Structure 1
């Protein structure tokens, strides 16, 4: 990495998000997804940026300061900012048993519904990281509420944050229901 800046977006407290803008060094073997994963190993979840902008150079205002508005305008979730070919291949997963498939489908739909920007459920797969596709802390609270309303299951927020994926949530739901 050649240069970087992290800042908080404008808005009310519920909508504020961390935005990271990075200038990658020539031939860098890492992208936004890799940088996010590296930060997740070292920082608490709330300190890891949810929006990323990979730029050639940091934009500056007329007085020479970093133009944070310009960076925020071009920021997207890490998975969109720097894809690293992590697509799931069709043969890579065994077909789960019907009840598990139904539960996974329900959770995937809940997941997609609360992500900011309303991703289509087909874009959310078992290992989709909630925070990498634009989810935020308010979205997690909405997800927990909908989970309780639609499936009648309560999951601890802390447990979900350890594995913020549909697969991780499915495992927590199964544990809570004794499946």
Structure 2
């Protein structure tokens, strides 16, 4: 499937999750719980007696998959809802919690750039609270929102390259990559007329008339 211009291999995501310790089975799909905001969400069923952590699973996926293939949320369910034919009923899978994707332990943004970036994230991602260890893409960020973030940062006097957002998706790391926008280049100074006055005065009327023509 394609999501925001990127080709997403759902089977690859599911295989990567199934390979994680404690995971019995996994399903990945695109959800549009908010109109116009399609997100990649993964669901896992743990092995019997096992306890799995969504944050640890995200970290494991980040080591194996491209950033644009990382699910915005990972939901742990005890068992799959099934259709009458015994297949996974994907439409019956629960929507992720609003806070899904936040770091397990909240740590407030520190410093001017982290605080500024957190405010922009809150607006773009419709999040109530952003911590310095939160992950832009795990909270629902994607390539189009990254472009919007770049523009808003520019308006606030900072710049960042698109690739940097993918390389440093944690708020604290991304804030460290912000570069103040350079001051506007000075208006070039037009050099003064260096033609000697004596030469200009020597032009006769006919030459001036030719120049006019």
List gaps (5 residues or longer) in structure 2: 1-22, 183-213
Partner of 1:131: 137
8 Å contact from structure 2 (residues 159, 179) kept in 1: no
1:143 pairs, out of 133, 136, 149, with 149
For CA contacts below 8 A with separation 6 or more, give which structure has more relative contact order. 1
Q: Structure 2 length normalisation: TM-score?
A: 0.63
Which has the larger share of helix?
Answer: 1
Where 2:117 maps in the other structure, the secondary structure is helix
Q: How many residues align?
A: 159
Report what 2:95 is aligned to. Answer: 74
Cα-Cα RMSD: 2.9
**Counterpart among 94, 114, 119 of residue 127 in structure 2:** 119
Q: Find the counterpart in structure 1 of residue 38 from structure 2.
A: 16
Give the gaps of 5 or more residues in structure 1: none
Bigger-Rg structure (1/2): 2
Instruction: Give the whole-Å Cα distance in 2 for the aligned partners of 1:27 and 1:75.
Output: 23
Give the structure with the larger strand fraction: 2
| Preserved CA contact (<8 Å) 1:21 1:52 | yes
> What's the secondary structure of 2:134's corresponding residue?
coil
Q: CA deviation at 1:85?
A: 4.6
